[in-house]
Amino acid sequence: MSDFVHKVFDFIASKNLEKEKEVGLIKKTTLDLSQKSKEIDNHGPSDLFMAVRDFAGQHIQQFINSSPDYNWVKVEQTHPCFDHFNFKYKNKIFSVLVDIKNPEGKSFMPPEFIKRQLDESERNNLVPCTFPVVVDNPDEPALNTMKTFGDGINLFNTITSNVVVPESIGTDDKVLMSNWELHNYAILHVRSILKQKNVPVISFQDIPVINPQLWMIDNRGNKCWVVIRHYVGNEEASITPEDLTEITRRCFKFNGYFCSVGFNPSKKSGDKYLFRNSVIDTQFNGFKTIHTYI
């Protein structure tokens, strides 16, 4: 399809948005996010950042290997994101932003990254941390030009700048799983199912307020989007009409699907609630077509 036809569809979608506001189909505060969506897609991480992130991940991996109480929660680089990876020690989850510094100690961390991390950490009971890496020569990001800023695991609290030692924070007390943890786990479960079916996943992201959650290639070679929701108990999750309108508007040139994943405490555990480190029963309810373009 030509660029001209794409622009025509964009123009029609924009006009339809205004008409739907006038007749009350959608709220007048609904925004046209098509351009913002394109901006997000066009700004991926730099080669320098990816090299520094690999360096940080390899460093933390040593601690993951040292004790069964350490576990990765998310290691993939997603875009957009509120942190660069996160891991768990006992009942605490540590949200990590990789902070590139020059030899003089100047940080190159964008302020909006910190705000995004702090907002999600507060909402989801995460420990916000930075992992500062001193880069001697940013033009040649080889591993031998990088070093950790501090000792040990090299983590610093994003709010206080104090050294973070996971072993002194994590305990065996039961802590409820947050909305983000369940959301992330639901996405992980759907990705696992798609992998079993040999369906290529192009990308995914796990910020709860951003849709869709995942992009894939169907068996006809078409790029498709998937909205993923989770629920707890016996009542299946659904997508709201307003969410569907907004998502379809931004992604209307691609086929769209919806799927839900249910969670319950395992009967073997005896728990009534979903706790971190507890055994969970999972119910996948299949893919439902919600938008067809091709």
Closest Cα partner for 212 from 281, 111, 263, 287?
A: 287
Are 56 and 142 in the same domain?
yes
Distance CA 170, CA 245 (A): 42
Does one domain contain both 161 and 200? no
Q: 273 to each of 175, 178, 230, 242, 269, how far by Cα in Å?
A: 10, 11, 15, 30, 10
Distance CA 62, CA 205 (A): 26
- pLDDT for the residue numbered 15: 47
Q: Is residue 41 part of a domain?
A: no
158 domain residue, yes or no: yes
Cβ(92)–Cβ(125) under 8 Å?
no
Please name which of 180, 242, 240 lies closest in space to residue 207, comparing C-alpha atoms.
Answer: 180
Residues 218, 250: one domain? yes
pTM of the entire predicted model: 0.82
Same domain as 197, residue 138: no
Q: Evaluate whether residue 84 is within a structural domain.
A: yes
Give the total number of structural domains in the chain.
3
Q: Which two tokens stand for residue 160?
A: 């206080």
Structure tokens at 267: 């009967």
Q: How far apart are CA 42 and CA 47, in angstroms?
A: 15
CA pair distance 178, 9, nearest whole angstrom? 39
Domain that holds residue 27: 3-32
Domain boundary at 101, 135, 168, which? 168
Q: What average pLDDT is seen over the chain?
A: 85
Give the confidence band of 236 by pLDDT, cuts at 50, 70, 90. Answer: confident
In a domain, 39, yes or no: no
Task: Report how far residue 252's alpha carbon sits from residue 194's, in angstroms, rounded to the nearest whole number.
Answer: 22
What is the four-CA torsion angle of 259, 222, 78, 140, rounded to 10 degrees?
A: 170
Token pair, residue 46, equals 């730099």
241 shares a domain with 199: yes
Based on the fold, state whether residues 97 and 21 are members of the same structural domain. no
| Within-domain flag for 262 | yes
Comparing 54 with 7, the larger pLDDT belongs to 54
pLDDT band for position 271 (50/70/90)?
confident
Are 151 and 241 within one domain? no
170-210 residue pLDDT tens: 999 999 999 999 999 999 999 999 999 999 999 999 998 89
- Contacts of residue 130, Cβ cutoff 8 Å, sequence gap at least 6: 96, 97, 98, 99, 109, 155, 156, 158
Any idea what the CATH number is for the domain that residue 254 is in?
3.40.1350.10
- Which of 174, 213, 185, 163 lies closest to 73, judged by CA? 185
d(CA 45, CA 54): 12
